[in-house]
Amino acid sequence: MTDEDILTRAGAIPVSTWSDALDYFDIWGVVQGMTLQSGSGRICGFATTARQVPGKLHEFEKAEFAVGRIVSAAAPGRVLMVDVGGQPISTMGGLAAYGTKQLGAAGVVIDGACRDVDEIRKTGLWLASRHVAPTTGKGRLRLMPLGCPVEIGGITVHQDDLVVGDETGVVVVPRAKVEEILPKAEALMAADLAVEERMHQGQTFAEAGRATGYLSPKG
């Protein structure tokens, strides 16, 4: 299966359904504590990982913030996953968000903070973060080598893991398991749609659930 095939099929599936599919494989991939700050709809892409070590003001040289390197790693079909240790220090503001959008990134998830939210929203960039804070990362954050494993909302994320996000939340699917889990997620979505179709035809939720097996112990 090509990466394009994966993104097309995976991007059609809601985050809640992905969470259910991951449960079948005993994989915990639900990112905790992120709030959608900008953008709408569903995003799907492969992770580009970045870690910024937090410190006190002047602990690091301003050049070590290196947000330009993070922005330059943005690309279509990629989601920037930035680990700031959950600290309320801003990794990305309006200009960096604009640059990320220009390069076509699917989205950004920051376990830390963003700022200039009004400007970010104008770009249309899909961005979720733990905090919104005006505090700059210049002099407070040091960027580590890109592509290393990071911790985002309690989930260890590796480069190229699959990331799906929508208004409900964000999930991470291990890259090595995507082709195994994807058919299960599609089957679960099909079951949901079957119940919905029967309800549109006038059945109650209970009736539609019984008719499709949706409410059975194995559903």
Is 96 annotated as belonging to a binding site? yes
With contact defined as beta carbons under 8 Å apart, do 172 and 44 qualify? no
CA 61 vs. chain centroid, Å, equals: 30
With contact defined as beta carbons under 8 Å apart, do 104 and 76 qualify? yes
Average pLDDT along the chain: 96
Predicted confidence (pLDDT) at residue 27 exceeds the cutoff of 60: yes
Predicted confidence (pLDDT) at residue 213 exceeds the cutoff of 90: no
Least confident of 37-41, 70-74, 99-103, 203-207: 203-207
Is 115 annotated as belonging to a binding site? yes
What angle in degrees, to the nearest 10, is found between the helix axes of 3-10 and 178-200?
30
The per-residue pLDDT for range 78-101, each reduced to its tens digit, is: 999 999 999 999 999 999 999 999
Give the residue with greater pLDDT, 210 vs 87. Answer: 87
Is 86 annotated as belonging to a binding site? no
- Written out in words, the top-level CATH class of the domain with range 3-173 is alpha beta
Is 99 annotated as belonging to a binding site? no
pLDDT at 218: 57
pLDDT at 75: 98
pLDDT exceeding 90 applies to what percent of the chain? 95
Is 33 annotated as belonging to a binding site? no
Is 105 annotated as belonging to a binding site? no
pLDDT at 127: 98
Burial 19-48 (b: 16+ CB within 10 A, else e): bbbbeeeebebbbeebebbbbeebbbbbbb
The per-residue pLDDT for range 126-160, each reduced to its tens digit, is: 999 999 999 999 999 999 999 999 999 999 999 99
